[in-house]
Amino acid sequence: MPPLPPSNTARYWLDYTYGAAGPRSLQVRYESPATDQDVADWLDVLLGIIDGPMDSSWAITGARKAALGSNVTLPAVTPVGPTPSGGTIAAAYYPYFISGQFRDVTAGNKGKLSVYGLNLVPDNTYRFAVGESTVMDNLLSFLQVPVVGINISIAGNPVQYHDYINAGFNAYHQRKQR
C-alpha cells in the first residue's frame, strides 16, 4: 500500500521555543467539524496538564494551519498557553522530548505526539509507565479520551494511545547543538 500524503488531513502546528533550544513545532491533525479554534482549545488543556515540569522560558511563538489537500500554511488561532514552572533546563536536555504513541483504530497507521522542553526525566527505560509520574498519567488519560475530529491519524480516523509515554533525545537536535 502506498504511503498517504502528508496533506491527507487538515493540520495544525503549534510553534514554540524554550531557552536557547531554538524553534520547535507540535503537529495535530484534525477534520471537520473541528476547527483550528477547537484544536487550540484542546492544546490549551494538554499544555495545562504538562506545564508544571515545563522549562520556565517555554513560550508559544505562533500557530499555523493547512487545509485538507493543501501544503500551504496560514496563521491559525493560537492557544492561550501554559504557565510553566519547571525551572530552567540544562542545555544538555534541549533535545529531550516526551512522546505519546498511537495507532489508527481502523487502518492501523502509527503516529505520535511529541513535546520538547520538559524538566522531567524518566528512569533508564526512557518510558513513563502508568503510575510512575502523576503528570504523565494525567497526560495519558487526556490523550486516551477521543475528541471528535481532533488528534486523528494521517488516514483521518480516530486513534488509540498506548499505555505509556516514551521519552528520548532527538538526534537531529543533538547534532545541531554541537
Q: How many CB atoms lie within 10 A of CB 110?
A: 12
So what's the pLDDT on residue 176? 83
Separation of alpha carbons 130 and 78, rounded Å: 31
Domain boundary assignment for the chain: 8-177
Separation of alpha carbons 90 and 96, rounded Å: 10
Query: Distance between alpha carbon 5 and the CA centroid of its chain, in Å?
Result: 20
Residue whose C-alpha is closest to residue 24's, from 69, 68, 55: 55
So what's the pLDDT on residue 122? 74
> pLDDT tens per residue, the chain (178 residues)?
678 999 999 999 999 999 888 899 999 999 999 999 999 999 999 999 999 999 999 999 999 999 999 999 999 999 998 889 888 988 888 999 999 999 999 999 999 999 999 988 777 889 999 999 999 999 999 999 999 999 999 999 999 999 999 999 999 888 888 7
So what's the pLDDT on residue 174? 85
So what's the pLDDT on residue 177? 80
So what's the pLDDT on residue 1? 63
